[in-house]
Structure 1
Amino acid sequence: MVADTRLTLRPIAGEYGTGINAASEAIKALAAEGLVRLEGKSGARVITRDLNRVRSEGVLRMAIECEAARRCAERVDNVQLSVLRGLADKVDRLFAAGDDLKGCRNADIAFHRTIVEFCGVPELWPSLMPLLDRLVTLDQTENRTTEIPGQKHIEVYEGLKSRDPEQAAIAMRQHLEHSLSMALASFYT
């Protein structure tokens, strides 16, 4: 979709061979992800990808997830560590294979969500979820590099496993700085 394009229900439903209700739900889902702006009964508009917005959302994501990593490292038990290890391994394996983008995205989000769940502050998830979904999607669809970003997930796990809050936060920050750099690079390619 081109930035500032107006989206209306009938043309979208026709183009995708679906009903108006399905098209309406799809537009609402895009709005919830911050990709379109609803304009009342007149439809919606595609939001312009903005370098400053991506940077700001990345910084906000870092603040939330570094705090979640700190708290998780303090609270995590051995069973939870085992779950996180399995998720980190899965994400890294999917990235290495490189043939299942949707699986990578879902596993990546599951890994980060589980850290938030284990941190003991469930209120963080509603703030993080729209940022995470949008930035992970941007990171994985806009950027194709020879480096495998998934290798960093095991490093986040190692930071959590240390049970040292600062070490966990540093590992998370490095992981997210890498992802944000990739997302920002898409503006220059």
Structure 2
Amino acid sequence: MQDTFGVHVGKLIGYARVSTRAQDADRQTRDLIAAGVRQDDLYIDHGVSGARATRPAFDRALAALHEGDTLVITTLDRLGRSTVNLLGLAEQLKTRGINLRVLNLGGSNVDTGTPMGSMVFTVMAALAQMELDIKRERVTDSVTKRRAAGQDLGGRRPAFTDNQIENARRLIDAGQPATHVARDLGMSRATLYRRIADLDARQWVKTQRE
């Protein structure tokens, strides 16, 4: 939008989303219009999950935004479900000179174009980063403890042949540290011993059948 002198005047771009086609966005639409968004500047995604990286109407809304404009949503979860991704989007908009206005964030109307709104998002970003760091620390601690206990860490297990396990046993018998042999195979020492014991058991059963 431009004024009579051809200077771009910031406008409001509204975005609404419903996860299923059975739902309607009437409530969101009414709230956005009441907040000053023009009908022609409304973009609505129907039957689109917030987890999707690309959403047709949302992509068009982003393309319609220019420096000085404001993207308006009713609640923060309309943009997506990951706090980290939401804050990343807010930062991208800020870089483009675009504000983000959430009509109901913690019961308040928050606009990143205001000092208070900017502070709220800064606090949210700090909390989200702290939450992410805590989760990473817990995962790392859990993996360390499970590896020390020789437990399965999940995921796809490497396929080892009986010959590889037999060779590992020979190396240990020859004096190689079991920890080093297991590490070379990508497993814990306890896991290697279990594989050796399993091989011994299968070989014993085989000899009993012969």
TM-score, structure 1 normalization:
0.24
- Give the number of the structure whose alpha-carbon radius of gyration is greater: 2
Higher RCO by CA contacts (8 Å cutoff, separation 6 or greater): 1
Structure number having the greater strand percentage: 2
Structure number having the greater helix percentage: 1
TM-score, structure 2 normalization:
0.22
